[in-house]
Copies of this chain bind each other. A is one copy, B any other.
Amino acid sequence: MQKIHAIIFDLYGTLYDVHSVAHACEEAYPGHGTAITHLWRQTQMDYTWLRSLMERYADFETVTGDALRFTCAKLGLPLLPGTARQLCDHYLRLDPHPDTPATLRRLRDAGVPLLIASNGSRHTINQVVSNSGMKWAFDQIVSVDDVEVFKPHRKIYLLAEQRAGHPREHILYVSASGWDASAASLFGFPVCWVNRDGAPFDELGATPAVVVPDLGAMADWMLARR
């Protein structure tokens, strides 16, 4: 593998814990929190892919609200506008994974430029990052808003490469989603797959360069190679 000059991180599920929304869902709908969180997240991802294929981009906040309405209807739960707003707002105040702050600090201290490339809208990403007090960590934030198509379309990986300012083979792409890691790898980034749950890798014809159990192990691997 070539020398790494920058790292691009996925946001949802990689740096931030999307299931931190579960607690709020359980409070709003006692006994249904887990069911809502999982169907909501699956529907949210499905809608990003479907809208991209239909060439009907809508930003992540819109898709997140649409997915919640479908989820509650599917589960037979009433959804008041106030509850919808309150639950969707949790996607703006996600918790970072416990190993995120310390890992990013180590990488920054080592002088590695850090970027985010996310399916979130610019507004959403900025909110998530600043609400968690992590603005110091990132050199650049790349949103699908600028290409109006969601991952795994290659346009977002290409934009992130251009913003990083290095050829793709010198940029490490870090994601906890197997499908995102697959697409980034097929695009040409060396990829680090963060496999927190011991899951199998997606069967999409790609292989990550390295697999780690958490972000700390990613930094160990990265810094040992410099």
A residues with a Cβ closer than 8 A to B are 42, 45-47, 49-56, 58, 66-67, 69-70, 73-74, 149-154, 179, 182-183, 186, 199-200, 202-205
Contacts and interface: CB of A to CB of B under 8 A. Distances in A.
B200 A50 contact: no
B186 A56 contact: yes
A63 B51 CA distance: 21
Given A46-B46, A46-B179, A203 B53 contact: no
B205 A56 contact: yes
A196 to B, nearest CB: 14
Contacts of A55: 154
Contact of A204 (B56, B150, B179, B200): B56
Contacts of A66: 203-204
B152 A203 contact: no
B49 A186 contact: no
A226 to B, nearest CB: 31
Nearest to A73: B200
A112 B150 CA distance: 40
Contacts of A182: 50, 54
Contacts of A51: 204
A151 B77 CA distance: 30
A53 B53 contact: yes
B179 A50 contact: yes
Contact of A58 (B67, B186, B205): B205
Contact of A50 (B58, B67, B183): B183
Contacts of A74: 199-200
Contacts of A56: 186, 204-205
A54 B154 contact: yes
Given A46-B49, A46-B179, A74-B199, 10 more contacts: A42-B42, A45-B46, A46-B46, A47-B202, A52-B53, A53-B53, A56-B186, A56-B204, A70-B202, A73-B200
Given A42-B42, A46-B179, A74-B199, A186 B54 contact: yes
Contacts of A204: 47, 50-51, 54, 56, 66
A203 B52 CA distance: 14
